[in-house]
Amino acid sequence: MVSWKKFCAAALVAVCAVSLTPLSASADASVTRIKDIAKVQGVRSNQLVGYGLVVGLAGTGDSNKVKETVQSIGNMLKSFGVAIDTSSLKPDNVAAVMVTATLPPFVREGDSIDVTVSSLGDADSIQGGTLIQTPLRAGNGEVYAVAQGAVSTGGFVVGRGGNKAQKNFPTTGLMPNGAIVERSVEDEIGQDGTISLSLSQPDFTTAARMVTSINARFGGVARATNPGRIDISIPAYYRGNVVGFVASLEELPVVPDTIAKVVMNERTGTIVMGGNVSVDECAITQGGLSIRVQKRADVSQPDPLSYGSTIVANNTNVKVKDSSGSTIVLPATANVSDIVGALNAVGATPRDTISILQAMKASGALHAELELI
């Protein structure tokens, strides 16, 4: 009886150990949804642009030097049956602007979209102005929306007598829901019984894992044509509910894979390393060489009552200081914290770290792609 209890206890411990092993492994993995790393092909936005006038400015509009603004005012008034002499027109209260917007997918006629208004001439500010009705066109030249309304800049500029104070950029403004969609773009998804997914970061491993996850849920309906595209046949029981099929598809979990990469911004000194960056054993020496050049003007004056002249001599003094460097041996590791700790140990600044990483890459010790932005 005792031996039977011991056998059951040992079996229970073994089962628990086996069941806990994959759970801990999956907990460490970076599991994400398909919708976060891929999108359905054909579902895209469209850019719109238009040219218009902002009126009602308090003397902060374009000057007479901007002939386009004067011509635009004349053409606008002419369309209302008003004939004027543009040579005497002062457009201080008017500014020529470019209006941009993004037409989201699946919007329909009558929906509202946000627009951005940017000064085109030499206006000081478009704060408090009103955009006159402006058609917004796509790349094909067709009008898809019309914008009009008050402009909100979120900034200001004030000044008098040469003194000026400015906050943010008062020559650019926003118009929330400032345009009305007049023409929609037809988005037909899955009409031929198939849809395609485009990966945000094309990768062979990620594409293969996505296919495995999709086929495990819906059967053999997915096939990866290349690292950035997956073609999927819509199951027969989802043919009348494509939206439901895409929703179920996007919620499937997958573990994406990325190449080892180090992204560096030399202007700001920002460095971002991926968790899969690894290095071979190498020695790092970090020192500093400073050069200081000073110029001093020495004046040599003649003796009193002499016929000499004052001479100015420029003397240059150059000082070179070579600070002692420190060396550390970095063991082979795949841990990002070890790399960062080693670089901090030699007192490397972010800009020094960029140079060190470039040297490690050139020597073959750093197994990662370097990207400089």
Q: Which tokens go with 82?
A: 């008003």
Looking at the fold, whether 194 and 79 belong to one and the same domain comes out as no
What residue numbers bound the domain in which 126 lies?
46-156+166-181
Beta pairing, strands 229-233 & 282-300: unpaired
Q: Are 175 and 229 within one domain?
A: no
Domain end among 147, 181, 215: 181
Q: How far apart are CA 132 and CA 148, in angstroms?
A: 5
One domain for residues 61 and 140: yes
Q: Is residue 192 part of a domain?
A: yes
Amino acid at 272: V
Q: How many domains does the chain have?
A: 3
* Residue partners of 316: CB distance under 8 A and separation at least 6: 293, 294, 295, 296
Residues in the chain: 373
278-300 burial by CB neighbour count: b if 16+ within 10 A, else e?
A: bbeebebebeeeeeeeeeeeeee
How far apart, in whole angstroms, are the C-alpha atoms of residue 187 and residue 245?
A: 16
Pair 179, 112: CB distance under 8 Å:
yes
Per-residue tens of pLDDT for the chain, all 373 residues: 444 444 344 433 333 333 333 333 333 447 899 999 999 988 888 999 999 999 999 888 888 888 888 888 888 888 888 888 777 778 889 999 999 999 998 899 999 999 999 999 888 889 889 999 999 999 999 999 999 999 988 755 555 555 566 566 788 999 999 999 999 887 778 788 899 999 999 999 999 999 999 999 998 999 999 999 999 999 988 888 889 999 999 999 999 988 888 888 878 878 888 777 888 877 777 665 444 555 566 767 777 766 667 776 666 565 555 555 566 666 676 566 677 777 777 677 777 778 888 888 888 888 888 888 8
Q: 356: left (phi > 0), else alpha (psi -120 to 50), else beta?
A: alpha
Q: Do both 113 and 137 map to the same domain? A: yes
Please check whether residues 59 and 177 belong to one and the same domain.
yes
